Every structure is written in structure tokens, then in C-alpha cells.
Amino acid sequence: MAIYYEPLSLILATLLLSSISLISLSEATKNGGVTIDLIHRESPLSPSYDASTTHFERLRSLFRRSISRYYALRSASFKSTSKSPDSFEATLTPIGGEYLIKINIGTPPVEILAIADTGSDLTWTQCVPCTQCYKQNAPLFDPTKTTSYRSVSCTSQQCQSLGVGSSSCDKSNRCLYQVSYGDNSYSNGDLAVETFTFDSSTSKESVAFPKVVFGCGHNNDGTFNETGSGIVGLGGGAVSIVKQLETAIGGKFSYCLTTLDSESSSKINFGPNAIVTGPNVSSTPIVQKSPDTFYYLTLEGVSVGNKASAYNYISNSNSGATVEEGNIIIDSGTTLTFLPSSLYEGLESTLEKSISGNRVSDPQGLFGLCYELPSNGEFNAPPIIAHFTGADVELTQESTFLEVEKGVVCLTFVTSQDLAIFGNLHQMNFLIGYDLKNQKVRFLPTDCSKTK
């Protein structure tokens, strides 16, 4: 018999929380919130790490995924802004993401490893019974073995929050979800609510969040990796984890991404731990645009040279034109940064005049500005500063120029057609805080390998 979710009484909610030996949400808030490890897919800490591959082979894999994700994000953005009011087709959502996160679902909690994705909203995992599932290493989630699982009815607000074209009803009035991705991957199944438990890597305590809306996928396939069991949606849409927990975590989350060669894991914080403060913090507004999944910022331009010297400033607008608000997405799942062609061309030209070295072609044909690495292994390039509205973010040379092949270093910005993305490579070694209550993103330069 189908079970439909209705708002639980305070007594039932209290019983649910007391049935598991976890600290409460209010206790977690007093203790500073929740901090969880983020595991890069190419890190030795990842279960998908292949020690037989070389460093440069792993980089090539990163770059290929970055290009694929760019086109998926572009497709999702274009689809959202161009569809008619009468359209019943769900907006394409990008697949991918470079970081894995461990969460626990159900009562008793069952651990799953999923992609942490700021470019997706709905959190889902593969469930039994499964009519079509991609291969995964961990057992499938079984909703019959948890006491806190509830299906969602078609008339509920949770079902309606999926939007037109992303939900349907079965004969028992259960809400069914459908999500499709830019690479033709998909997940279909039951929309439900469950208790999600986060194991904090700092306090060594577990925090339970009851009644979280998620997808229990019975029909899933595509380019998913067998090490992951689904997606944890960290986007800005109504059904994302951060939106659902917005009141509990004060609308705040942050992450600190370590460099690609670091032996330390990255961190993601929810609640008070995610507040980014200090004299070196810079802040820029989040711009509300469609689709609301993405976090849009305004990039006014870039400059070459450190803050102590005169800027070689390249504007992100045509001569005399006003910079478009919300002209770039900040995304943790895309490795490279994609710039509008006019901005990229100005940056490449300015850098070429500033760098002394032997320019060479990229063996992969992806990057536009590459140099031969000197025999001493030291390549010198001026700093690049990204000028967001109200925030000047000075990027490190370790992220802006990367040895992509033996003896070849390349600029890690690439040109885009009509969508700009600030990728995770240029977010590394910054504590980046998302304040959804005040609609701000904050940047604090730091050594993320030392972040606890």
C-alpha cells in the first residue's frame, strides 16, 4: 500500500529524532554547524582513483569532463530562457561534478556516496526495486528497510515544487519525478521524504535532518560512474538540499577546495561554520536569473598584474556598453573557467605581451596560450585578477597556468560561446561562502589543505 507524506506532528517528529542517537539540529547550530569532507574524483582519496593512470592522463580526463559539462550547462541555461510558457518539457539539468560527498539516508542511516553538485537541485539515489539502474559498487537504497521513508502525493507542495514537466502521477496518486541531463543521462522514480544524516568531520558527531525531499530512482542510466550512487543537489532551486535546509542552516554554506595535488580533502560547511569573515574577505552579489538552479555573479572584467602595479584592465563589455548583470555562473563541478570571447582574447593578448617564454601549441588543441616549461621547472607569469562587482579576486599562478603535458604549461581559461563559467580550478585555496539570505558570495584566500 502506498504511503503518502503529510506534515508530521511535533510528537511524531520528536519520536523520529529520539529514535536515533544523533545530536539535534539546534545542538549542531550551537556547535558551529556541520562540516563534511569533499572528495575530488581524481584524488587518491576517491574510490574511483586509478593509480595506473598518469597525472597528465587524469588532467586530460578532467578537461574532457569540463568541456562536456560546459555544453550541458549551456544547454540548460538556453533551454530555460527560451522555452515558451506553454512548454511541458523539463529544463535540462547538467550532469557531472568533480566532488563526491558521503551522506546517510534513512532510519537506521545507510551511507551513500554521491556527486556534490552546485549545478543541480534534486538530490536522488538509486533504489530498489530497480527496473533500469547503472552499475554501482554500493548496495542500492532499499526504502522498505527504513522507518522514516514517506512517499509524496501529487497534490503536495513538494511535488509541485519540481516544476512543470519534471513530475507526474501514478495510479495511486504518488508523485513521480523525471530529470534528464545534458549528456542524455537520466533518473526517474518516486519523490519521497527521508531523514538525511550528515557526519561532521570536525565535531565527529552526526546531525539528522528529517523530512528531506529526495528522489528514489528506479530507472536511471547514462554516464554515471559506478562509485557514485546519485547526486546531492546544492543548487539554488526550491528542492535543493541547501534550499530545503535554508532555515536550519541560516541560508549559509561554504566550501574550501584544495589543489589538485593536495593529499588533504576539501571541506563543505553548513550553518554557522559557513560564515566567511575577516579583513581579506571580498563580497559580490548573487544575481537572480533563470534557471534559479545556478548561482549567477557579475564579472566586470579581468586584469593582468598585481594590485601594487597599474592594471592592464580588460572589460567584460563592449566599448561604452554596460556590463550585463549575472553574466557568469560560479560552479564547483566545472574545472576550467570559460570567458566570453572578447574578454578571453583581450586577456590572452595582454598575457602574451607580459610573459617572456617560448610559446608552443597545446598538444590537445584545447588551450589557446601555452609555453614551453623552462628547464629549471619555473614558469613566471603575472597575477590575474577577476573583477566581480564589489570583489577583486586575485588568482594564483598555480591555478591560472598549469602543466597540462610534460614540459608544456597552458592558460586555464578558455573561450565560450554564450555562457561564462567560473570553474573550480580558480576557486581552489579560497574559502567561498554562499549567503542565500543576503544573496552574497564571499571569497577569502586561504590554504584549504589546513582547513579543519
CA dist 171 and 177 (Å) reads 14
Catalytic residue check, 331:
yes
- What are the beta bridge partners of residue 105? 110, 196
Which residue of the set 183, 190, 199, 331 is catalytic? 331
d(C-alpha 216, C-alpha 125), whole Å: 6
Q: Phi first, then psi: what are they for 158, rounded to 5°?
A: -60, -40
- Tally the C-alpha atoms within 13 A of residue 235's C-alpha that lie toward its C-beta: 27
Neighbours of 291 (CB within 10 A): 20
- With cell 558521503, the residue in question is 102
Q: Catalytic residue among 37, 117, 199, 435, which?
A: 117
Sign, CA torsion 110/115/121/124 = negative
SS3 state at 238: coil
Indicate the Cα dihedral angle 435, 438, 444, 448, nearest 10°: 0
Which sign, positive or negative, has the C-alpha torsion 142, 148, 150, 156? negative
Cell of 49: 582513483
How far from 147 is each of 90, 209, 236, 260, CA to CA, in Å?
Answer: 32, 14, 29, 40
Q: Is the peptide bond before 108 cis (omega within 30 degrees of 0)?
A: yes
Locate 291 and state its grid cell. 534557471
Phi, psi of 378 (to 5 degrees): -110, 120
Is-contact 118 422, C-beta < 8 A?
no
Assess whether 117 carries a catalytic annotation.
yes
Cβ pair 41, 99 in contact under 8 A? yes
The DSSP call for residue 139 is P
Within 206-365, strands assigned E span 206-221, 230-233, 252-256, 266-270, 282-285, 296-297, 299-304, 312-315, 328-330, 337-340, 359-360
Side chain identity at residue 315, one-letter code: S
**Residue for grid cell 592558460:** 411
Specify which residues 212 forms β-bridges with: 194
Minimal CA–CA distance to 190: which of 240, 244, 131, 147? Answer: 131
Catalytic residue numbers read: 117, 331
